[in-house]
Amino acid sequence: MPVLLATTLDLLAPALERDGAVVVDATLGLGGHAEALLERFPGLRLVGVDRDPTALALAGERLARFGARFHGVHAVYDEIPAALDEAGLPAVDGVLFDLGVSSMQLDEDDRGFSYARDVPLDMRMDPGEPRTAADVVNGWSAADLARIFSRYGEERLAGRYARAIVAAREATPVRGSAQLVAILEQATPAAMKSRGHVGKRVFQALRIEVNRELEVLERAIPAALDRILTGGRIVILSYHSLEDRIAKRALAARTVSTAPRGLPVETDETAPTFRMLTRGTPTAADAEVQENPRAASVRLRAAERIRGEPRTA
């Protein structure tokens, strides 16, 4: 079920109500947001981007009834400019990012994202990519494992967990999630076992590293902003502080004047090209969280281009 669906549609609406408007769903998934957008705006064309070929195929089936109004592209979302060029679209009226792992990926055991069930340590959003989570867990040094657990999982026990993994894999490779969770549980001090599932932060860190999520996102948001027409809008849904920090920085770079303090006149070079549409980060209501637990951690940011031309090359 799409998170913050009504809010997302309402924020994008002023940019998408004209006939011929174009929106990019940069994280197509199973097409929930895309379907709602195409239904609400009958004159809209949608370019759906996803790195997961299975999700892309399922979304294509779901959206087939919209015909040529939907164009699916197998790509990572920092490749939005290339996807638009492929579709013959130099600029767009809207962009949506719904970040993080999808419910389909969590639910499919062979994808290896879950720490709640015993599944292979895979975690690739695109199964065609060569490196799995098992490769990282079994091949990286304790120092490198500790670095990603700390940086991408904000895990306080990063060093302790990394050393425990390296010691355990000397006896047998770590191939499954239950095996990894057991190592983490054994390495967790009794006083810290009440803070939630021991695998949550480590699995998040492994997923981010395997899919290069943050480095891709740092390129993707500016690339998307470059292609938005004046009056066009962007909505970003993030699910942990690392993603939200990147979104906040990328939008701040376009919504704040770069003129030196005290400059009497704003110039074209220093004036902001976007304005924020949200104050703070709107979150899901309790009723939505009850119906869809994934909404509990969502943070939303949105902005509108107010001046300047999209960059098409």
pLDDT tens digits along 57-76:
999 999 999 999 999 999 99
Residue at a domain's end among 195, 211, 227: 211
Cα–Cα distance measured from residue 48 to residue 111, given in angstroms and rounded to the nearest whole number: 22
Looking at residue 286, its pLDDT comes to 86
Residue at a domain's end among 211, 240, 260: 211
Q: Which residues, listed in sequence order, are joined to residue 22 by a DSSP beta bridge?
A: 45
Q: In this structure, are 92 and 224 located in the same domain?
A: yes
33 is in an annotated binding site: yes
Is 313 contained in some domain? Answer: no
Helix (H, G, I), strand (E, B) or coil at 214: helix
Is 66 contained in some domain? Answer: yes
Q: What value does the mean pLDDT take over residues 129-145? A: 96
Cα–Cα distance measured from residue 226 to residue 312, given in angstroms and rounded to the nearest whole number: 7
Q: In this structure, are 39 and 186 located in the same domain?
A: no
CATH of the domain at 246: 3.40.50.150
- Rounded to 10 deg, the angle between the 158-169 and 142-153 helix axes is 140
Q: Which amino acid is at 133?
A: A
Look up the pTM and report it: 0.90
122 is in an annotated binding site: no
* Domain tally, the chain: 2
Cα–Cα distance measured from residue 27 to residue 33, given in angstroms and rounded to the nearest whole number: 9
Q: In this structure, are 46 and 90 located in the same domain?
A: yes
Residue at a domain's end among 163, 188, 211: 211
Task: Give the H or E element holding residue 100.
Answer: none
Is 35 contained in some domain? Answer: yes
CA dihedral sign of residues 211, 216, 221, 223 = negative
32 is in an annotated binding site: yes
280 is in an annotated binding site: no
109 is in an annotated binding site: no
Q: In this structure, are 35 and 153 located in the same domain?
A: no
In this structure, of 57-61, 201-205, 227-231, 258-262, the range with the lowest mean pLDDT score is: 258-262
Helices (H) and strands (E) in the chain, counts: 13, 7
Q: Is the pLDDT of residue 188 over 90?
A: yes
Helices (H), 172-212: 177-187, 200-211
Q: Is the pLDDT of residue 266 over 70?
A: no
How far does CA 163 lie from the centroid of its chain? 30
Looking at residue 149, its pLDDT comes to 97
Domain holding 170, by residue range, is 109-211
Q: Which amino acid is at 175?
A: R
105 is in an annotated binding site: yes
